[in-house]
Amino acid sequence: MLRRLVDDKRFALLDLSLVLLSGAVWMLKPEWGFWFIPIALLPWVLRLLAGISPIQRTSFDWLVLLFLITAWVGYWAAYDKTTAWSKVWLIVTAVLLYYSFNAQPRENLIYICALFFCIGVGMSVFYFMTYDFIAAPRKLEFVNQIGRWIMNVRPQVGLNSIHPNYVAGIVAITTPFIFYPLWKLRARRSVLLYATVFIGLCLASFAVLMATSRGVIMAIVSGVGGCLLWRLTTLNGIKNRFKREAVFPSIILIYLCVIVTFLYIGPASSGNVFSGSYYYGNGGRAELFLRLTYTAKPTRQSESIDPLPLYK
């Protein structure tokens, strides 16, 4: 009986739901998160009691193990143990999500994709309902003006907001899953379905715009560009003249070099915290990266300046 229970497709959905619940708690209430990890591991225990492996092996198991090891090494080296502790368990939850997603039967994919789409739209709504565009303005002024208008018309929910970069990342990852159900259900011609999806995609796109996360936007551009390049290499004219297996990796490598160069001379060089006249520079990512590539001998002037303000 226990074996039939764990083999049921609804049990796989329950496994995924518990992991998603654990991840949500870690993001919204980190102080509660550790107590939800045993709940997320409950399906593993039931599988062991049923005499089967708690996970389905994949070809990336060693990379996942390395990922976990680096997470714990990062916690060991972190100066802020409290924040690092939450980050580590978020990574552990991500690994649980990977294996629970891998264990899903094919007939569950439509429901899972719809669930992820709802998570993305729900995160967008949560961002609009909780973020304070006055206390923590975004990088673009017109975004702040729209945000202040939203704050004037929205109801007060009394919940803590999530960092805009997290919101943009989650929304960008989860909402595109809806295209799989749309493709599978394309013969139904449901006006309500398409209207709901259209409104959800508009909300998600608006949330990514209002978050003004340059990293997420560049990741979207890179992904879309890679897909377009793949379609380009599958055209009959190119397929007949060149071998696609050789052309596509070369084009992707050139494309990624262009993206990295643009990021290096553009967004990565812009300062986030410090002004250009500050002694330590403007605090841009490219500037910090350059400092890691060499070791400079201390001078009397540099020895006399306290480096702690750079990290405060």
Contact 160, 28 (CB under 8 A): yes
- Strands (DSSP E) found in 38-144: none
Local structure of residue 274 (DSSP, 8 states): S
Give tens-digit pLDDT for 5-14: 777 788 888 8
Q: How far apart are CA 36 and CA 22, in angstroms?
A: 5
Give tens-digit pLDDT for 261-288: 776 666 555 555 444 444 455 555 566 6
155 compared with 260, residue with greater pLDDT: 155
The length of the chain in residues reads 312
pLDDT of residue 207: 93
Flag whether 42 is in a domain.
no
pLDDT of residue 224: 82
- Would you tell me how many other CB atoms lie within 10 Å of the CB of residue 216? 21
Contact 159, 207 (CB under 8 A): no
Averaged pLDDT, 22-27: 79
Of 125-139, 208-222, 253-267, the range with the lowest mean pLDDT is 253-267
**pLDDT score of 206 more than 80:** yes
**pLDDT score of 237 more than 60:** no
pLDDT of residue 202: 94
Q: How far apart are CA 225 and CA 74, in angstroms?
A: 32
User: To which residue do tokens 């870690």 refer?
Assistant: 26
Flag whether 3 is in a domain.
no
Share of the chain above pLDDT 70, in %: 79
Flag whether 116 is in a domain.
no
**pLDDT score of 178 more than 70:** yes
Local structure of residue 283 (DSSP, 8 states): -
Averaged pLDDT, 81-86: 82
Flag whether 39 is in a domain.
no
CA atoms 124, 128, 130, 131: torsion sign: positive
Domain housing 226 = 214-294
Q: b or e along 265-296 (b: 16 or more beta carbons within 10 Å of the residue's beta carbon)?
A: eebbeeeeebeeeeeebbbbbebeeeeeeeee
Residue 235's SS3 state is: coil
Flag whether 274 is in a domain.
yes
Flag whether 192 is in a domain.
no
Q: How far apart are CA 57 and CA 103, in angstroms?
A: 9
Flag whether 12 is in a domain.
no
Flag whether 77 is in a domain.
no
Closest CA to 37 of 83, 91, 104, 82: 91
- For the chain, the domain total comes to 1
Give the global pTM: 0.70
**pLDDT score of 290 more than 70:** no
pLDDT of residue 49: 84
pLDDT of residue 201: 94
